[in-house]
Amino acid sequence: MKHVAVLGGGPAGAVAAERLAAAGVRVTIIDEKLAWEKPCGGGITYKAYSRYPFLIDNATPKNSISETCLSDSGGAAATMRLSQPLLIYSRMDLNRMLLARAERSGAEISKDRVLAVKREGERWRVQTKAGKLDADFCVVATGARNSLRDFGTEYSASHTMYALGYYVPRMQRHIDIRFFQFLEGYIWIFPRCDHLSVGICGKGEPAHMLRRRLERFMEERGLPVKGSTFFGHMIPALEKPSWPRNRVAGTGWMAAGDAAGLVDPVTGEGLYYAVRSGDLASRILLDETVSPAQRESAYRAALKQDFLEELSFGSGLAKRFFFKRFLFSSVPARMIEFMQRSPRLSEIVQDLFAGTQSYLELKKRLLDNLNGTLFDIFVGSTLGRMVVKEGR
């Protein structure tokens, strides 16, 4: 394999290119925008930076945030101290850092637009606005708005959510998350180094309604809409039946990151899965025991072994989390209420934020802690009533 074309310069493409170039493979990254800003918060979880230390050990500006406030539209709120902080980058700064690493490893970077990709014998002909190039293999990392219809996830409206946001010239030292009844999504405030990323992600509701929710929330918090830059983006959100047939690879190509639909369906977090899938794609390509004919199946197997079952399970969990009712209220509202009274539940939610608590093992852990959690809640509410009576 002499030449790999990486189509897309986001985290998935940059990481794949860096790994391949460092191993001596000729790599060309082609991206029309290269580093660019996105409305998404830019959060890097402990799961991501503990596995990939270069995400924390760098000189790129970032915030390390250890406090999160969860609230719901009914007024319930719980503040949580994160035992493992969340790193928050500007997406432009993060992408620049990852592209610089790829370039230092020897990858060529071309700021150009891919118009078409065509198979010619055992090679690819990549047509761009500036001309053509030939490659032995393609890594498709074009993001969710993938214009190459024959490569990567085949999206429909039910497989996506909107992310809309403002960059607000304010600062704070904690994260805010606001849930709503019967909305598959949430509002966030992520403090970046020189502004707040304030946004909403949601599924099943038109973009103009999501924006209205967001702007009402911002007005409630005293956050200015006027003078704040607005951005919008699409995020993959595959339904559970779609995962087994998700198109992540084919003859001579693999898709990584958003182009392969690899996003947490509950939180909308995709940075870990972008970096991880870019890494796995490069490992398959560099593995001399994997023949060219085996690369497609080997990549699918690697994704399945690593996290596909987790994401598939999360797709079903998302519906229950956002839409089911528990003890006459929404699940997020009850979760927030219980967190106020139960240290055990707060620890579980912390681990979900850190990415160290899998969805597949969540039910078992909740059941293992159920008796203790209910005891915490009972004691907390009983003592609360006693204190009120004593005060009288």
Same domain, 340 and 237: no
265 inside domain: yes
In a domain, 319, yes or no: no
> Are 28 and 83 contained in the same domain?
yes
Residue 111 maps to a domain: yes
Domains identified in the chain, total number: 2
What DSSP designation does 246 have?
-
| Domain assignment present for 236 | yes
Helix, strand, coil percentages for the chain (3-state, nearest 5): 40, 25, 30
3-state secondary structure of 118: strand
Judge if 163 and 14 occupy the same domain.
yes
Residue 67 lies in a domain: yes
Q: Tell me: do 37 and 79 sit in the same domain.
A: yes
Do 336 and 295 reside in the same domain of the chain? no
Write out the residue range of the structural domain in which residue 212 sits.
3-306
The answer to the question of residue 203 being in a domain is yes
Give residues with Cβ within 8 angstroms of 299, minimum separation 6. Answer: 248, 249, 254, 280, 281, 284
Q: Is 164 left (phi over 0), alpha (psi -120 to 50) or beta?
A: beta
pLDDT (tens place) for every residue of the chain, 392 residues total: 789 999 999 999 999 999 999 999 999 999 998 888 876 778 999 999 999 999 999 999 999 999 999 999 888 899 999 989 999 999 999 999 999 999 999 999 999 999 999 999 999 999 999 999 999 999 999 988 888 889 999 888 788 899 999 999 999 999 999 999 889 999 999 999 999 999 999 999 999 999 999 999 999 999 999 999 999 988 999 999 999 999 999 999 999 999 999 999 988 899 999 999 999 999 999 999 999 999 999 999 999 999 999 999 999 888 888 888 766 678 888 888 888 888 888 888 899 888 998 989 988 887 777 665 554 544 444 333 433 343 44
Inside any domain, residue 320:
no
Domain edge (last residue) among 253, 274, 306: 306
- The model's pTM is 0.91
Residue 167 shares a structural domain with residue 75? yes
Domain-terminating residue out of 250, 271, 306: 306
Are residues 287 and 332 located together in one domain of the fold?
A: no
Last residue of a domain, one of 306, 333, 353: 306
CATH code at 36? 3.50.50.60
